[in-house]
A and B are shown apart, each in its own frame.
Chain A
Amino acid sequence: MAAIYSLYIINKSGGLIFYKDYGSKGRMDTNDSLRVASLWHSMHAISQQLSPTLGCSGIELLEADTFDLHCFQSLTGTKFFVVCEPGTQHMEALLKVVYELYTDYVLKNPFYEMEMPIRCELFDINLTQAIQKDRVALLGR
C-alpha cells in the first residue's frame, strides 16, 4: 500500500505553519521540522536560479532513495509538500485538495492570523478525512 508519511505547509517566508506526521520512523521534533521546512524553502528558491531555461517555478518532485517529496506552491507563495512512499500516484491532486481545505478552513477563519501557525480544528478534521479518502481510493484500484 502506498502510504503518506508526512505533510508540511510553509508560509511565503519559509516558516513552518503546519506539520503533521502520519507514522514515519524516528519522528522529527519541532526544531528539526522547522529547520527542514526552511531548508526546503531555500532549496526551492535555489533550484529556480539554476534553471537552464526561463520560467522555472521550483522543485515539484524530489525522488529520494526511500521516499518521494511532492511540492505545490500556491500563487501567494505558500508551499504545501507531502512526503510519501516512492512511486505514490495522485499526490498533485491531493496537494490541490489540501490547498482547497486551507483556503476554506484556514484563510476564511476570522481568527486566523496570516503567516502564523495553523490551529484550526475543522481544518485538522477535514485534512484527516481527505488523506484517508485518498488512501481508500488507492486501495480500491
Chain B
Amino acid sequence: MQFFGGSEISPSPPVPTTAGNNAHMMYVFNRNGVCLLYREWNRPLHTLNPQQDHKLMFGLLFSLKSLTAKMDPISSDKGNLGVPQLPGQGCSFHSFRTNTYKLSFMETPSGIKIILVTNPRTGDLRESLKYIYNLYVEYVAKNPLYTPGTSIRCELFSTALDQYVRSIA
C-alpha cells in the first residue's frame, strides 16, 4: 500500500464519476473498530439502531477482508482464515455492489477505514476516497483539539465533506 498525498496540502479533487445526488451514507472507523464518524444523506431504511448498525458494518468489512485475503488467487502463502491482519497486509478489496447500493472501502496505513455507500451505478470511487482521507488529515488529524479515537466533531471537516460528497455523488 502506498501513502498518498504525502507533501501536497490539498490536491485538486478527482473528476466526478457520475452526476446527481446519490450518496447514501458514510462511515469512518479507526483501527480498533470505533466509529469516528457516521453521516447519512439519503437513507430511507434503518434495520438496526445506530450502534448495532456500526458494529455490523465493521464486522462485515473485517470478515470480507479476511475472506479476500484467504481467496487471493495470486499469492501462494495466505495464512489461516480469520487471523487478524495489519492494514495493507494481504489481499484487500475496494468495493462491492448489490442491486440497491455500492459500497466503496479504503483502509489507510494507520488503520483508518473510510466507507462510502452510494448508488449501485456509481463508478470507481478510489480516488474520491483518497481525497476524503486528505480532508480527514487536513481538518481532523491536524486539529490540535481533536483527541484521536474519539468521534469527529469538526465543523470545517463536515462542511468540506458534505460539499465534496454532493459534488461527486
Contact = CB atoms under 8 A, between A and B. Distances in A.
The dominant DSSP class at the A interface is mixed
Contacts of A49: 47-48, 56
Interface residues on chain A, size class? 35 or more
Interface residues on chain B, size class? 35 or more
Contact of A64 (B42, B76, B93): B93
Contact of B98 (A25, A36, A60, A65): A60
Interface stretch (A37-45, A94-102, A109-117, A118-126): A37-45
A60 B57 contact: no
B113 interface: no
Interface in B15-45: 24-25, 40, 42-45
B73, B76, B92 — most chain A CB neighbours (10 Å): B73
Nearest to A22: B73
B100 A52 contact: yes
A107 B60 CA distance: 33
B130 interface: no
B129 to A, nearest CB: 13
Interface of B: 24-25, 40, 42-45, 47-48, 53, 56-57, 59-60, 63-64, 66-68, 70-78, 81-82, 91-101, 103, 117
